[in-house]
Amino acid sequence: MTAVQTSAEQSGATNGQDQYPAGAQVVVRDEVWLVRSSMPTADDGTRIEVVGVSEFVRDQEAVFFSGLDRIELLDPRATALVMDDSPNYRRSRLFLEAVLRRTALPQSERRLALADSFLMDPLPYQRRPAELALSGANLRPRLLIADVVGLGKTLEIGLTLAELIRRGRGERILVVTPQHVLEQFQHELWTRFAIPLVRLDSVGIERIQREIPAGRNPFTSFKRVIVSIDTLKNTDQYQHHLEQIRWDAVVIDESHNLINRGSLRNQLARTLAPRTDALILASATPHNGDAKSFAELIGLLDPVAIRDPENYRAADIEHLFIRRTKVSPEVREQMKGQWADRGPSHSVRCPATPAEEKIFEELAAVWLPGDGGTSVSSVPLFPYTLLKSFLSSHAALKATVSARIKTLEKKDDPRGTAAELAALQRLSELAADLTEADSAKFTALVRQLREEIGVGPGSDERVVIFSERVQTLEWLSAVLPAALGFKGRAARDCVRVMHGGLSDEQQMSCVEEFGLADAPVRVLVTGDVASEGVNLHRQCHQLVHYDVPWSLIRIEQRNGRIDRYGQARPPEFRALILTSEVEGAKDDTVVAERLLEREDQAHRSLGTAEAVTGLYRAEAEEKSLIQDLLRGRTVDESLDARRSGADGGDAGLDDFLADFFGPVGEVGDLGEAGSIGEDTRPTESGASASAGMEASSTGRAAASPVVPRLFDSTAHFLDEALREVYPDARDRLELDRDEQSGLLSFRPPTELVHRLKALPTDYLREQRLRERLLVTFNRRLAEHSLQRARESSTSSWPEISLLTDLHPVVEWLTDKVLVGMGRQEAPMITANVAEPVYLVQGVYSNKLGRPTVVKWMGVTWLEATREGLVDDDMVSLLRRCGVGPTMANKLRFRDPEPLCEALPHVLDTAEAFLNTHRDAWDEPLREPIEQYKRRLGAWRQPTLAGERTKERLADLADSLLTTGRPLLRVLAVLLPDTDRKPGDDGPPPVSLTAPASSATALRSPSAPAAP
């Protein structure tokens, strides 16, 4: 009977914390399971996620709690040594490689392990957020990615999540985005990184409610979820469910929406932040100009980073924050050929028609009189609302006038508004009979689309048209097709309209269809719902502002939809500028045209227009501008007054934000940042923490492999694994392999189909993935498939997916290899060694069950001298011993009994070696934790809630330190070749007694053997 031992016994039970590291095998309910991940709970011991190993539960996923079930780790002293009869010891080599792959990287490993394996360009600037998250500069992987529009924040998030998954810190992931980018975000994470997310949009929620029992927490049914922030914030039921779940990683996109304290979005963020290890916030505009609000956003990442929310320095948060623009040197140099430079913003002047001039006359005389005249409206800002509606379209003006008349007519005493009502009625009459023939902007738009851009029947050219008003959008979508020459079905299909009043499914459908090359849509008419986060550049480089928002930020956000990383053609922008000859008329040359010029100047010189006004919010910019116009200022006077602080702005605030949100220069500029509040002294720190991460993308990262590997590539490993696990794969899996292109096609078995359930339902259905999978390691082929999908008229999901280390196919075969070895068995391998060498894995963990140190050792026990020797570079040792695909398996039987008798001594030696070096290995981990605890000690909180937060963070810091004894596991034994004779060709047998830089001799300790 196989010996087992409880986790408490194996760890020494020194901390009362069970340890179940990923990759370990446990016995629960008399079945053997492979540990995927583990996490302590408040009431039920340790929660472990496992996959079945033994026959009756093989490939079944399950969750156990150590407080409810007896969970037993297999005792390494009882390891059974078995022969390997596979060719070239293939089974043994695959098993060792699978253990290496399934073992989470330790906390001490700061370098990126997977950056070169995904479907993305090798741009170091896109790696820096992941490097900062893993750098140890912060207690946990938490950061705000605030790169400006278009730099690829989704790719940066995907890479960060992938690295967390490889470290065993990404099993449970929640991604929260605006509803219109759900599918786009989900699409990028799967096609680029092979990270599947279950989408909980309105359709997804309905499906889940059919599949799970009533009242069941949906987040316990799906490990990796993407959901709309509007869905979560508006549902009390989800709030309750979220409070019961702990996540490994939470991503919140467009996180500037979280700032307003008391809002539903803010409450959602406050619910999620303490219930996740990693927290990634993303926003191109993460500031509203208020120091306290920004401090609150940073407080979600690290509550103790800022002591005084009204007076803090850039150095206080540089470990939590990263921001670049297109003109940042590191971005500009790496982007050559990857992002076409934008063209200028063209103002297309449109002289008002006679019917429009009559409305200008009415507005100038009655609503917005000059020379100190009085407006007919008692609401100072309303005349500008009327003006902006008219500058958008007659359809928008009609809607605004009608809504205002209804409001005034509901008042108890309408006499005070009689004059305004009469003026509104005159405007209503002037606009009543206007059509597209009376619209100078519409006439100019059609001319620009047909003659300048080339949109029309028989053309593939596309354009996105922005307007602030829903009435304008709907009117344009109705009249444009015929004006552009489209007829019949083509007229119905050529234009799509998108605004915030559509459902999430309708919005996502518009975005997806516009990005498909073969789709008939040629014009996307959209509101500013598409100005944040949406990719519209795949098939389009033309953008028209039908009306211009009175905000530099909003203009830049709109332009960023087509001016993005991956844009192959120079983006072109046009704005329709309605002009008037009426004296005193405030036409588009007064505000819109000047704002376009200022945005273009700021973008080219600073890389962003967000810091020009110092307001950092589109709504605030527009409100401030209108108020200044009421005071008689020009647009330039308004912008310059805000920036100079002439209106009483906080100079310290401006200095600080100018570094973060204004021009971003050489890496390390944050070292010169000022502070928020009264203290404007320069910081004493040097370059930013994020700047220091750059080294890991260059020479330092190449110094040694991040992940030890026996196989030279994942492709080689998968090929050998298929031969071992499915020797009859051609018949059983209907496997077809194209040697020239590298395409693998096969029918997925049932257990793999079960793993694919996390993929999008429409993707599974469209590509019939349950019937046949098409996968490849050929990056060019995968990229071509992705591009071909975008040129489709039906779906943007690619037919062929890239096999990364995270792909379900690779994970499935890795687990098949692991379970191919029997319960607590280790193979015996004949190799070029002088004496038996035991391959032993040693893992130290913290209280959270996460590995802090992982060592792969070769251990020899010399009975004659009662001495053990250790080499802690197992992979190098295996190569020196000739373990590889060309080694011969002579099928010689060896009696395992003498080898098993040495196991206690071998394990004692391994543990003694680990204990000898533990302090040195722990030092890089202890130092940042101790620094954090000192900062935490200086953090004073006057409230009980604050003190509880402080206690929780102190406990968290302590839980990250290494604790207990190491978990040991015997993986294999290398045996001398008894057929080898002195003088035979080849290198001499490897002996750990020979001098070696990593070999260490240790006398066997007198303490009893540890597992």
Q: Describe the crossing of helices 418-432 and 354-362 by its angle, rounded to 10 degrees.
A: 170
* pTM summary value: 0.80
DSSP summary character for residue 352: P
The fraction of the chain above a pLDDT of 90, given in percent, is 46
pLDDT tens for residues 138-158?
889 999 998 888 888 999 999
**Distance between CA atoms of residues 851 and 843, nearest Å:** 6
pLDDT at 979 over 90: no
Mean residue pLDDT across the chain: 83
User: C-alpha angle with apex 1005: 1000 to 1010, nearest 5 degrees?
Assistant: 100
Residue 351 has pLDDT above 50, yes or no: yes
pLDDT value of residue 702: 39
| Euclidean distance between CA atoms 967 and 843, whole angstroms | 5
**Tens digit of pLDDT for each residue in 125-138?**
999 999 999 998 88
pLDDT of residue 206: 65
Q: How far is CA 929 from CA 14, 15, 353, in A?
A: 21, 19, 70
The helix (H) or strand (E) run that includes residue 504 is helix 504-514
Q: What is the pLDDT of residues 509-558, one digit of tens each?
A: 888 888 888 889 999 999 988 777 688 888 899 999 999 999 998 998 89
Inform me whether the pLDDT recorded for 1008 exceeds 70: no
For 426-472, what is each residue's pLDDT tens digit? 999 999 999 999 999 999 999 999 999 999 998 999 999 999 999 99
Is the per-residue pLDDT at 165 higher than 50? yes
Beta bridge mates, 349: 577
Do residues 751 and 713 make contact, with C-beta atoms less than 8 angstroms apart? no
Q: Which residue has the higher pLDDT, 211 or 403?
A: 403
- Under the banding of pLDDT at 50, 70 and 90, the label for residue 693 is very low
More confident residue, 1001 or 845: 845
Using CA atoms, how far residue 567 sits from 563, 604, 610, 690, 766, in Å, is: 7, 17, 22, 27, 27
E strand intervals along 799-930: 801-802, 825-831, 837-846, 851-862, 867-871
What is the tens place of the pLDDT at every residue in 199-255? Answer: 876 666 666 666 777 667 777 778 899 998 878 876 566 777 888 888 999 999 988
Q: Are 274 and 197 in contact (CB under 8 A)?
A: no
Q: Which residue has the tokens 């190993």?
A: 53
- Nearest-5° Cα angle at 551, 549 to 554: 75
Residue 91: per-residue pLDDT: 96
Query: Which residue in 779, 761, 778 sits closest to 770, CA to CA?
Result: 761
* The two structure tokens encoding residue 895: 């009696």
> What local confidence, expressed as pLDDT, does residue 134 receive?
93
Rounded distance between C-alpha atoms, residue 288 and residue 624, angstroms? 13
What the block records as the tokens of 708 is: 């030890």
Is the separation of the CB atoms in 716 and 886 below 8 Å? Answer: no
Which DSSP category does 1001 fall into? E
Instruction: Classify residue 395 by its DSSP letter.
Output: H
Mean pLDDT of 819-832: 90
Q: What is the mean pLDDT of residues 889-914?
A: 93
In this model, does residue 58 exceed pLDDT 70? no
User: Distance between CA atoms of 169 and 899, rounded to whole angstroms?
Assistant: 37
Q: What share of the chain is helix, strand, coil (3-state, %, to 5)?
A: 45, 15, 40
Of the listed ranges 42-56, 565-579, 907-921, the one predicted with least confidence:
42-56
Note the pLDDT tens digit of each residue in 78-121. 999 999 999 999 999 999 999 999 888 998 899 999 988 899 98
DSSP letter for 682, please. P
Tell me the C-alpha distance between 442 and 436, whole Å.
6
What would the pLDDT profile of 603-630 be if each residue is shown by its tens digit? 877 777 776 777 777 888 899 899 999 8
182: pLDDT strictly greater than 70: yes
Q: Which pLDDT band holds residue 278 (cuts at 50, 70, 90)?
A: very high
Structure tokens at 805: 């280390």
Task: Kindly tell me if the per-residue pLDDT of 174 is higher than 60.
Answer: yes
Residue 987: its pLDDT value, please? 85
355 and 430 in contact (C-beta within 8 Å)?
A: yes
Q: Which residues contact 557 (CB under 8 A, 6 or more apart)?
A: 149, 284, 285, 528, 531, 532, 618
- With a CB cutoff of 8 Å and minimum separation 6, the contacts of 551 are 595, 618, 619, 621, 622, 625
Say if strands 825-831 and 80-83 run parallel, antiparallel, or are unpaired: parallel
CB atoms within 10 A of CB 574: 25
Highest mean pLDDT out of 319-328, 714-723, 971-980: 714-723
pLDDT at 1000: 65
pLDDT in tens, 363-373: 999 999 987 78
| pLDDT computed for residue 967 by the predictor | 86
Give which of 254, 191, 200, 188 is closest to 226, Cα–Cα: 200
Residue carrying the six token digits 């509880």: 948
Given a contact cutoff of 8 angstroms between Cβ atoms, the answer to whether 621 and 551 are in contact is: yes
Neighbours of 160 (CB within 10 A): 26
pLDDT of residue 933 exceeding 50, the answer is yes
744-786 pLDDT tens trace: 999 999 999 988 888 877 788 888 999 999 999 999 999 999 8
pLDDT grade, residue 349 (50/70/90)?
very high
d(CA 343, CA 584): 33
Share of the chain above pLDDT 70, in %: 85
Give 724-747 pLDDT, tens digit per residue: 999 999 999 999 999 888 999 999
Checking if the pLDDT of 792 tops 60, the result is yes
The pair of structure tokens assigned to 973 is 């034994």
Cα 643 to the center of its chain, rounded Å: 34
pLDDT at 128: 93
- Average the pLDDT over 393-411 and give the result: 93
* Of residues 638 and 340, more confidently modeled: 638
- 139: helix, coil or strand? coil
Closest CA to 286 of 296, 277, 271, 272: 296
**What pLDDT score was predicted for residue 853?**
92
Give residue 1004's pLDDT. 47
pLDDT exceeds 50 at position 703: no
pLDDT value, residue 800:
94
CB contact at 8 A, 575 and 545: yes
How would DSSP label each residue in 905-943? HHHHHHHHHHHHHHHHHHHHHHHHHHHHHHHHHT----S
Please choose, from the candidates 648, 686, 680, the residue with its C-alpha nearest in 3D space to the C-alpha of residue 666.
686
Nearest to 757 by CA among 211, 1, 151, 114: 211
How far apart CA 996 and CA 1003 sit, in angstroms, is 18
pLDDT band at 847 (very low <50, low <70, confident <90, very high): confident
Left, alpha or beta for 115 (phi > 0: left; psi -120 to 50: alpha)? Answer: alpha
